[in-house]
């Protein structure tokens, strides 16, 4: 589906018409520049490659600089392909936040916050041992058994254990667009969005 690239600004809350406090996320969306147009004749599929957020030429490769000059724009930090645009955009065109409308629903993808090495209680939501008496020692947050000994004599793949947590691509679906602020390129959606502040996200219709 069609979409744009944005940057997560942070969270806030707004009141709806019934006076209910709604937690929301503010995202800076666009302007996104069309850096490449994919066609069926050349590429075998139709899509638009969009770039967002300027990058200095000093920190860019010659390939990135040349690719951006074809579109007549500066080098972009984040480049993503989207399909499903109804409008006919050309190379170098700019797409703004008014591509979205208030009241519609969007899917937002981002990289979750890295938590480092975590135990099973935080990582997988294990309950831990319920009691700390009757001879219970220091095993309150331990995972317990991870398999039988003689058979199958191995640990099955996918066993929920302690390990690195976060830093993965997460998609949150069906977030309602509460507000669109075109003059500041801001999009306000209901609920939370993966990633830390100032991280890049992709918003799809």
pLDDT tens per residue across span 139-188: 788 888 899 999 999 999 999 999 999 999 999 999 999 999 999 999 99
CA 190 – CA 159 distance, rounded (Å): 34
Question: What is the pLDDT at residue 27?
Answer: 96
The pLDDT tens digits of the residues spanning 44-94 come to 999 999 999 888 889 889 999 998 888 888 899 999 999 988 888 888 888
- Given a cut of 80, whether residue 115 has pLDDT beyond it is yes
Domain definitions of the chain by residue range: 3-117+170-204, 118-165
Question: What is the pLDDT at residue 130?
Answer: 65
- Identify which of 153, 18, 2, 187 has the alpha carbon closest to the alpha carbon of residue 82: 2
The fold for domain 3-117+170-204 equals: Elongation Factor Tu (Ef-tu); domain 3 (2.40.30)
Q: Where are the beta strands (DSSP E) in the chain?
A: 3-15, 21-29, 32-38, 47-54, 76-82, 94-95, 105-111, 116-118, 163-165, 169-181, 186-190, 200-204
pTM score, two decimals? 0.84
**pLDDT, averaged across the chain:** 90
What the block records as the tokens of 10 is 């942070």
């Amino acid at each position: 589906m069609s979409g744009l690239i944005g940057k997560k600004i942070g969270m806030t809350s707004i009141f709806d018409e019934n006076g209910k406090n709604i937690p929301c996320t503010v995202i800076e969306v666009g302007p996104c520049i069309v850096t490449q147009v994919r066609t069926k004749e050349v590429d075998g599929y139709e899509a638009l490659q969009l770039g967002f957020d300027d990058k200095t030429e000093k920190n860019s490769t010659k390939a990135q600089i040349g690719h951006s000059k074809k579109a007549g724009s500066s080098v972009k930090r984040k480049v993503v392909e989207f399909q499903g645009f109804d409008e006919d955009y050309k190379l170098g065109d700019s797409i703004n936040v008014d591509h979205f409308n208030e009241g519609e629903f969007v899917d937002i993808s981002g990289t979750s916050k890295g938590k480092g090495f975590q135990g099973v209680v935080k990582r997988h939501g294990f309950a831990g041992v319920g009691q700390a008496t009757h001879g219970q020692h220091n095993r309150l947050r331990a995972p317990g058994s991870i398999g039988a000994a003689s058979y199958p004599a191995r640990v099955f793949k996918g066993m929920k254990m302690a390990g690195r947590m976060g830093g993965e691509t997460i998609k949150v679906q069906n977030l309602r667009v509460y507000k669109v602020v075109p003059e500041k390129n801001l999009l306000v959606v209901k609920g939370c969005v993966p990633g830390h502040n100032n991280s890049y996200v992709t918003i799809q219709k």
